[in-house]
A and B are shown apart, each in its own frame.
Chain A
């Protein structure tokens, strides 16, 4: 069965420090992965997807199939980055495409 693991429940970093939010996955097929973010009192929103190879708000994530990882990185954390971050895997099942989420990591950026 597919699984997404985010080992850190909470990550605290100082403003200006590098950030790495870890995500590991288990999936027998070809993985499609996303990062979603939920800021305080806001809805869950797509941050980036691995197929786009894009950088959003300074964040990047590289799919490493050898290590089955999709870690989210930012070189210099900002206070406005404080939020819940969810890694998610596209799963094809029962004729539908679903998202399998990790438990999330709460990022706290200390001023």
Chain B
């Protein structure tokens, strides 16, 4: 089975520009999560989709971040406008059941650099 796919793997953009990250979960996984690791900090939760609905977006840092999940399949995370502090690695994960104690399957991540 294909794993969780994220692209691009790397993105370098200028401050003020817009970037869109994409995540394709494992087929059949209703639950999709976004996390990010900012340099020197912990990996932190951003939000959780169940199918196309946002179950929990309590970790989204501010309104410059917009996540969508079209038709309950792939998800996009848009940052507009990007700021320097948005640099980091953005991870996507999916799971068949919502309980995290079964563990997620993570994607390889997108490394975002804002200059």
Interface residues of A (CB under 8 A from B): 4, 32, 34, 36, 42-46, 49, 51, 86, 90, 93-104
Q: Which residue of A has the minimal Cβ distance to B101?
A: A32
Q: By the criterion CB–CB under 8 Å, are A95 and B55 in contact?
A: yes
Contact B56 A94 (CB under 8 A): yes
A28–chain B nearest beta-carbon distance, Å:
17
Q: A96 near B48 (CB under 8 angstroms)?
A: yes
**Are B42 and A96 touching (Cβ within 8 A)?**
no
Q: Is B109 part of the binding interface, using a Cβ–Cβ cutoff of 8 Å? A: yes
Given contacts A96-B55, A98-B59, contact A32 B42 (CB under 8 A): no
CB neighbours (8 Å) of A46 from chain B are 103-104
Please name 22 pairs of A and B residues whose Cβ atoms are closer than 8 Å in the assembled complex, sorted by A: A4-B42, A34-B103, A43-B3, A43-B107, A44-B43, A44-B109, A46-B103, A46-B104, A49-B101, A49-B103, A90-B101, A95-B56, A96-B55, A96-B56, A96-B58, A98-B45, A98-B48, A99-B43, A100-B45, A101-B35, A101-B42, A101-B44
B residues with a Cβ closer than 8 A to A are 3-4, 33, 35, 40-45, 48, 55-56, 58-59, 91, 98-101, 103-104, 106-109
Task: List the count of A-B residue pairs having beta carbons below 8 Å apart.
Answer: 66
Given the known interface contacts A44-B106, A93-B58, the answer about A99 and B45 at a Cβ–Cβ threshold of 8 Å is yes
Cβ contact within 8 Å between A98 and B100: yes
**List of B residues within 8 angstroms of A97 by Cβ:** 48, 98-101
Q: A79 CA to B72 CA in the complex, in Å?
A: 41
Which listed residue, B40, B43, B48, B99, touches A101 by the CB 8 Å rule? B43
With both beta carbons as reference points, the residue of chain A lying nearest to B45 in the complex is identified as A98
List 20 extra interface pairs beyond A90-B101, A96-B56, A97-B48, CB under 8 A: A4-B42, A34-B103, A42-B108, A43-B3, A43-B109, A44-B109, A46-B104, A49-B103, A51-B101, A95-B55, A97-B98, A97-B100, A98-B33, A98-B48, A98-B56, A99-B35, A99-B43, A101-B43, A103-B42, A104-B43
Given A86-B43, A96-B48, the answer on whether A32 and B100 have CB atoms closer than 8 Å is yes
